[in-house]
Amino acid sequence: MNSNGPDDPARSGGQELSFRENHGAERLLCAVQELWRARDLQSILQFTARAARELTGADGASFVLRDGELCHYAQEDAISSLWQGRRFPMSSCVSGWVMQHRSPAVIDDIALDPRVPLDVYRPTFVRSMAMVPIHARVPLGALGIYWRSARVIATQELTMLQALADGAALAMENILLREGADRAAARMSELEAATRDLAEQCQALADGQRQNDALNELLAHDLRSPAAGIMLVARSRLRDPDIPEREQHRWSKVLCSAELIQRTAMNLLDTSSRQMGALVPRLEEIDLAALFREMAGILEPHAASREQRIEVRPGAPGGCRVRADGDLLRRVLQNLLDNALRHGPARSAVRVEARRLDARWVEVAVRDEGPGIPVHLRDHIFDRYARLDGRSSCLSAGRGLGLTFCKLAVEAHGGTIEVRDNEGGGSCFCVLLPA
């Protein structure tokens, strides 16, 4: 009789084992495919616990999730209740050991293994068990199977359990990626909607700004003509050598008011022009000492009406000279001096001075003896329509174009303007200009 014939028991047993292995592999493949179709974590938990029990023929299975330093028995499928919903410290249960060591635990008899907390297992049916990590690199949890009688757990059962756990880990990551992609898509939709809203708002603001600039231009032109006429009449009257002192004082006030109207109109025009890129200086050589004296003479009546005085300090002998746009620089000084006089107390002095810092830069400073400007407002006072509210430390809406124009005009020259504390109290507006 041929020992390798069709009736050989050894051959029949090998075929049966091979059949069981192939059948188990097919069932495992189907289980993993089913896991990949899961749409949420709870579905993965339920299916994995059920599949673990069916694939190995165990009496129970549990899916444990890591929750910080706790083991959360999130799902079970068993002949009687185990620990579903309960949490145990990582250091006091087998699932914690599996996650911490990132390796399987095979326990043929729980009474003989020191890793098993017998007090916890005693009320259950469990006598033998195997547990594997879910995602061995950074464990997300553990998958366990249990039997009600002591038995030797086969290598094939442990291999299938680990393969199922790996499939569950991939399915969990897949859900996280899908949820992340869904959140990203939703966020992208929100951002696109916000971008459209912002674009519409920007367009509306731009349209409003253009209308505002057009209105400012019309208003400025309407103000300049009558202001120029008033200035012409006032200067003519002030040139009369026979004008009485009292009338001279009145016409000086008229001239100052008309100049203020014209300067406000020009500030409206130039702040709009600069924002549209049209404020371009026409450079010429400027004698700062002569310019200081000219501005002091123009504003002297206004200072005298407030019992103030303007002190001119042109720097070193011979003064300082810069290349600048004379009209723009003249108006910058007018605005700064007018601002200093308005915020300085009666019988105080306003000083305008210049000094050469080096071969490249000249500094012009206008100092007053007023209340000063709080540090947190020093950048904002150059904003359009922002004004310091009297002697308080707040900004308010108002005419507020003088300092805005100064900043735009100075920066158009390639210079800078800032405000500092004045020595002895008050403010110092410092203008840095290329020499």
What would the pLDDT profile of 200-259 be if each residue is shown by its tens digit?
Answer: 888 888 777 677 666 666 666 667 667 778 888 888 888 888 888 888 888 888 887 887
Q: Could you tell me the domains of the chain?
A: 9-180 (3.30.450.40), 281-434 (3.30.565.10)
Mean pLDDT of the chain: 82
Grade residue 298 by pLDDT with cuts at 50, 70 and 90: confident
Helix axes 288-305, 326-343, angle to 10 degrees: 30
- Confidence grade of residue 19 (pLDDT, cut at 50, 70, 90): very low
Each residue's pLDDT tens digit, 79-128: 998 999 999 998 889 999 999 999 999 999 999 999 999 988 989 999 99
Tell me how crowded residue 230 is: count the other CB atoms within 10 A of its CB: 17
Percentage of the residues of the chain whose pLDDT score is greater than 90? 29
State the pTM of this model: 0.47
